[in-house]
């Protein structure tokens, strides 16, 4: 697994995680900026979850504050983790209804884009929807399946997570909306995802499992749910048989150029 230059903050003996004034300022600026972009773009369920979390604008929240809301809503909690964790640990946590949160925040020079998921991405991007029963059920089921899957199966499952939890769109009565945390924590992707540039197709689990992606570019294709509750129905499918089907069919042709190798 690729390394990182970030180190997660460790809690003190009381469980409190200390951050610097500059880190709190970065959180506040990220939050304020993204709150200007999501109205009319984020799905209602995300906005409702955000209201429940009531994230502080002047400091990085403590995980215990987030846990109180999640536990009451769906029985989930967060789990403090290092900057990067293994697939095994990731699936173990999701299977226990614990959402991994790396307790560091991006540096100012990486304010607009960061490959590693930081605390802003995890708390702002993902935790609001963990208050939604369909999203929470899908994420829990995904964790249990991934825990039992082979390494090759996990690579296919990762694509389903990418095109739902991270970069998913959903049709609503008000029009197309965003629910993926990878989009909602990025102002550039929030604008881009609903523009005329990317391709958008109705969600097909097998196709999503077969679609290559890159983490360092705007997504050329998004899969669209007809309703957020579809996540519950997807979780009830025999997903591992669909993984096997996707493996037999092979990958779709990538919709992006290969990443340039650094000589």
Q: Which of 92, 126, 140, 186 is catalytic?
A: 126
18 is in an annotated binding site: no
Average pLDDT on 220-239 reads: 98
For residues 184 and 190, the answer to whether their CB atoms sit within 8 Å is yes
Average pLDDT of span 90-113: 95
Q: Of 121, 122, 137, 186, which one is the catalytic site residue?
A: 121
pTM of the model: 0.95
Determine which one of 122, 140, 153, 185 is catalytic: 185
* Catalytic-residue membership of 185: yes
Contact 48, 182 (CB under 8 A): no
- Mean pLDDT across the stretch 218-231? 97
First to last CA, the chain: 20
CA dihedral 57, 182, 165, 99 (to 10 degrees): -50
| Alpha helices for the chain (secondary structure H) | 21-37, 44-53, 63-74, 87-95, 119-120, 133-148, 151-161, 181-184, 187-193, 205-209, 230-235, 239-249
Q: Is residue 1 predicted with pLDDT exceeding 70?
A: no
Annotation marks residue 166 as catalytic: yes
> pLDDT tens digits for 117-134?
999 999 999 999 999 999
Q: Could you state, in order of their start, the residue ranges of all structural domains in the chain? A: 21-249
The closest alpha carbon to 163, from 209, 122, 126, belongs to 209
The verdict on whether residue 166 carries a ligand-binding annotation is yes
Contact 127, 104 (CB under 8 A): no
Phi, psi of 79 (to 5 degrees): -140, 120
Residue 164 pLDDT more than 90?
A: yes
Q: Is 140 a catalytic residue?
A: no
Sort residue 40 into left (φ over 0), alpha (ψ -120 to 50) or beta: left
Per-residue pLDDT at 103:
97
Which of left, alpha, beta for 75 (phi over 0: left; psi -120 to 50: alpha)?
A: left
Question: Would you say residue 42 has pLDDT above 60?
Answer: yes
Q: Which CATH architecture has domain 21-249?
A: Orthogonal Bundle (1.10)
Catalytic residue status for 121: yes
| Cβ pair 122, 101 in contact under 8 A | yes
């Amino acid at each position: 697994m690729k390394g990182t230059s970030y180190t997660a903050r460790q809690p003190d003996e009381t469980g409190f995680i200390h951050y610097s004034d500059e880190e709190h300022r970065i959180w506040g600026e990220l939050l304020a900026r993204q709150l200007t972009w999501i109205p009319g773009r984020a799905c209602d369920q995300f906005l409702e979850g955000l209201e429940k979390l009531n994230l502080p604008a002047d400091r990085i929240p403590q995980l215990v504050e987030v846990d109180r809301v999640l536990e009451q809503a769906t029985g989930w909690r967060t789990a403090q983790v290092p900057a990067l964790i293994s697939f095994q640990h990731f699936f173990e946590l999701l299977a226990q209804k614990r959402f991994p949160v790396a307790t560091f925040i991006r540096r100012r020079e990486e304010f607009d884009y960061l490959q590693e998921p930081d605390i802003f991405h995890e708390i702002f991007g993902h935790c609001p929807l963990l208050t939604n029963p369909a999203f929470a059920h899908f994420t829990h089921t995904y964790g249990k399946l991934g825990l039992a899957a082979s390494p090759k199966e996990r690579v296919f499952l990762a694509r389903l997570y990418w095109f739902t939890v991270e970069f998913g769109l959903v049709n609503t009565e008000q029009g197309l909306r965003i629910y993926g945390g990878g989009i909602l924590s990025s102002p550039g992707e929030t604008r881009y995802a609903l523009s005329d540039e990317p391709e958008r197709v109705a969600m097909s689990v097998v196709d999503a499992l077969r679609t290559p992606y890159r983490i360092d570019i705007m997504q050329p294709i998004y899969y669209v749910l007809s309703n957020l509750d579809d996540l519950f129905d997807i979780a009830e499918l025999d997903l591992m048989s669909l993984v096997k089907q996707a493996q037999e069919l092979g990958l779709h042709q990538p919709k992006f150029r290969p990443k340039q190798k650094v000589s």
